[in-house]
Amino acid sequence: MITSAIGENKNFYIETYGCQMNVADSEVVTSIMSTAGFVQTPTLDQADVIFVNTCAVRENAEARVYGRLGDFKHLKKANPGVIVGVLGCMAERLRKDLMESESFVDLVVGPDEYRNLPKLVDNAVAGERGIAVRLSRVENYDDIIPFRADGISAWISVMRGCDKFCTFCVVPFTRGRERSRSLASIVREVEDLSKRGFKEVTLLGQNVNSYLDQSWDFADLLAAVAKVDKSMRIRFTTSHPQDMSDKLIDTIVQNSNVCNYIHLPVQSGSDRVLELMNRTYSAEHYLKLVGKIKQTIPGVSLSTDIIAGFPTETAEDHRTTIELLKEVGYDGAFTFKYSPRENTKAWNMADDVPEELKVERLNEIIDVQREISFRKNRTMVGGTVEVLVEGESRKSTSEYCGRTETNKMVVFPKNGFGAGDYIHVRIERANSATLFGAHVSC
Ligand code: 5AD
Ligand code: SF4
């Protein structure tokens, strides 16, 4: 008897919002769907199945997805046979809402249920709407090889979930408890990517440095991955200050291909606010850690996340955040206005910093950081940096762009090299976000 795959003759389209974990998850979804016979299409019009992989970390992220769902609703009206699935963190958080008030949505599927997607789509084709939002303590998709087009840079999810329960954050509720993939399978994945010509991998986890596989911690994983191909750059994100061990700092410096760049969110410079956030460190402890990192890893580049306007934040709290930014001298910062999230502990605290004040503080943080970044970048003018060429620059077809190991974006004229090459660039000018220069042979 010949049996046909569930996805035979069906195309699926996937759109991804939010963090890099979601990008990595969409690659897992693509792999699962392709194995079931579905074919990925980049065009919405050709899709039999439309997935939107969503983010719930802030209200505006959800608002964007709701806006996009409006487009899919029209599409579904014109073509009732198309299946619409909401995946990811919003599916987990708003399961009931989505099923009840968005009647054109056929499937609501949380981050730990992607293996069931082909079956759920099959049921939906037969007219059965589906919801699958169970969170797992073990699912890590370890055996699934994510689908990736050939390229220079790959994201590898090495652990899922978060046990930190920062009081503002919905992630522990939408992604569940921490669990790590096996070291062996991650190393195999990196070996495969190296053979395919990838030049850079970023190890991903909501809390990547709390990785644990039996007795192997994140430093062991980093060392094992770094050994695979010394010409491959290794990055990782996001690190929690609490899990930034001496062993990990030493491992970064001991492996030349592990990039000297650490994203180490501080969130606030005020001890009182840090405590309310349940961040488990004081500003002094964080600054000591930064001191140790800078001393051990010469030329290290650091970035952070900052939240402006957390409940009860005073002008004085805000001032200490600005001072901390200046003291650390970050190379970059991702900055956010506090957004209350249901279920979190902070949801029960009054959101008492008025919107205008949140905006004012956020803008001040952005301005101060821009000035710091500009000053740091300006010191690089006249020097030469090694850059991994990523591709054409966004603004000009005659220029390429690429990054330094410290994650600085560099733009330079094309000159006989291509994406994936390591070249040397002499820096001629800089702004707060980008370095500009020209290729030199060294
Ligand atoms: N409001 C604002 N920012 C938030 N983040 C997480 N939750 C919230 C929230 N409720 C930010 C934190 C985190 C980053 C990924 O998003 O700074 O580090
Ligand atoms: Fe959210 Fe905190 Fe976990 Fe990061 S460490 S994902 S901010 S709970």
Q: How far is the CA of 266 from the centre of ligand 1 (A)?
A: 11
The answer to whether the CB of 307 is under 6 A from ligand 1 is: yes
Strand partners, 386: 424
Alpha helices in 229-332 (DSSP H): 246-254, 271-277, 283-296, 315-328
Q: Whose CA is nearest to atom 18 of ligand 1?
A: 305
What's the domain count of the chain?
4
Ligand 1 near 18 CB (within 6 A): no
CB of 51 closer than 6 angstroms to any ligand 1 atom: no
Q: What is the CATH number of the domain that holds 227?
A: 3.30.750.210
Residue where a domain terminates, one of 259, 289, 316: 259
Same domain, 269 and 359: yes
- CA of 175, closest atom in ligand 2: 6
As a whole number of angstroms, the distance between CA 391 and CA 321 comes to 36
Cα gap 11→5, rounded to integer Å:
13
Residue bearing the CA closest to ligand 1, atom 2: 338
Q: Are residues 92 and 103 in the same domain?
A: yes
Q: Are residues 266 and 372 in the same domain?
A: yes
Atom 4 of ligand 2: nearest residue by CA position: 206
- The helix (run of H) or strand (run of E) holding residue 20 is helix 20-35
Q: Where are the beta strands (DSSP E) in 267-404?
A: 301-308, 332-337, 384-392, 399-403
Q: Is 105 part of a structural domain of the chain?
A: yes
Q: Is residue 268 part of a domain?
A: yes
For atom 2 of ligand 2, the residue with the nearest CA is 166
Q: Which of 59, 169, 239, 330 to mutate to test the pocket of ligand 1 (most atoms within 8 A of CB)?
A: 169
Q: How far is residue 392 CA from its own chain's centroid?
A: 23
333 in contact with ligand 1, CB cutoff 6 A = no
Kindly give the confidence (pLDDT) of every residue in the chain, 442 residues in length, as a single tens digit, with 9 standing for 90 and above. Answer: 455 678 888 999 999 999 999 999 999 999 999 999 999 999 999 999 999 999 999 999 999 999 999 999 999 999 999 999 999 999 999 998 898 888 899 999 999 999 999 999 999 999 999 999 999 999 999 999 999 998 999 999 999 999 999 999 999 999 999 999 999 999 999 999 999 999 999 999 999 999 999 999 999 999 999 999 999 999 999 999 999 999 999 999 999 999 999 999 999 999 999 999 999 999 999 999 999 999 999 999 999 999 999 999 999 999 999 999 999 999 999 999 999 999 999 999 999 999 999 999 999 999 999 999 999 999 999 999 999 999 999 999 999 999 999 999 999 999 989 999 999 999 999 999 999 999 998 7
Tell me, yes or no, whether 78 lies in a domain: yes
Any idea what the Cα angle at residue 340 is, between residues 339 and 344, rounded to 5°? 130
* CB half-sphere exposure, 314, CA atoms < 13 A: 5
Nearest Cα to Cα of residue 164 among 64, 233, 265, 313? 265
For residues 68 and 90, is the Cβ–Cβ distance under 8 A? no
Kindly report the protein residue whose alpha carbon is nearest to atom 1 of ligand 2: 169
Single out the residue in 215, 241, 259 at which a domain terminates.
259
Ligand 2 near 64 CB (within 6 A): no
Same domain, 332 and 393: no
Q: Is the peptide bond before 312 cis (omega within 30 degrees of 0)?
A: no
Q: 339 CA to middle of ligand 1, Å?
A: 8
List the CATH number of the domain containing 26. 3.40.50.12160
233 membership: H or E segment, kind and range: strand 233-237
**Which residue CA neighbors atom 12 of ligand 1 most closely?**
305
Query: Is residue 89 lining ligand 2, measured as CB closer than 6 Å?
Result: no
Structure tokens of 22? 């979601």
Tell me which residue of 85, 74, 156 sits closest to 120, measured CA to CA: 85
Contact 118, 6 (CB under 8 A): yes
Q: Is residue 320 within 6 Å of ligand 2 at its C-beta?
A: no
Top mutation candidate among 286, 336, 345, 366 for ligand 1, by most atoms within 8 Å of CB: 336
Question: Is residue 162 lining ligand 2, measured as CB closer than 6 Å?
Answer: yes
What is the model's pLDDT at position 121? 97
Residue 271, domain CATH: 3.30.750.200
Enclosing domain of residue 390: 384-440
The secondary structure of residue 343, as a DSSP letter, is T
User: Is 138 within a domain?
Assistant: no
Q: Residue 141: inside a domain, yes or no?
A: no
Half-sphere exposure of 327 (CA within 13 A, CB side): 16
2 in any annotated domain: no
Domain boundary among 218, 236, 259: 259
Give, using CA atoms, the residue closest to atom 14 of ligand 1: 305
The CA 225 to ligand 2 mean position distance, Å, reads: 25
Is the same domain home to 123 and 224?
no
Neighbours of 297 (CB within 10 A): 18
CA–centroid distance, residue 276 to ligand 2 (Å):
14
432 and 345 belong to one structural domain = no
Ligand 2 near 164 CB (within 6 A):
yes
Q: Are 390 and 426 in contact (CB under 8 A)?
A: no
Distance 189 CA to ligand 1 centre (A): 30
Q: Say if CB 237 and CB 206 are below 8 A apart.
A: no
Which residues are within 8 A (CB) of 419 and not within 5 positions of it... i.e. 6 or more apart? Answer: 152, 389, 390, 391, 400
b/e sequence 321-349, b meaning 16+ C-beta within 10 Å: bbebbeebebbbbebbbbbbbeebebeee
Q: What predicted TM-score, i.e. pTM, was given to this entire model?
A: 0.96
Instruction: Please state, as a whole number, how many other Cβ atoms lie within 10 Å of the Cβ of residue 150.
Output: 10
From the CA of 334, how far away is ligand 1's center (Å)? 9
E strand intervals along 17-164: 39-40, 49-54, 83-88, 107-109, 130-132, 153-157, 159-160
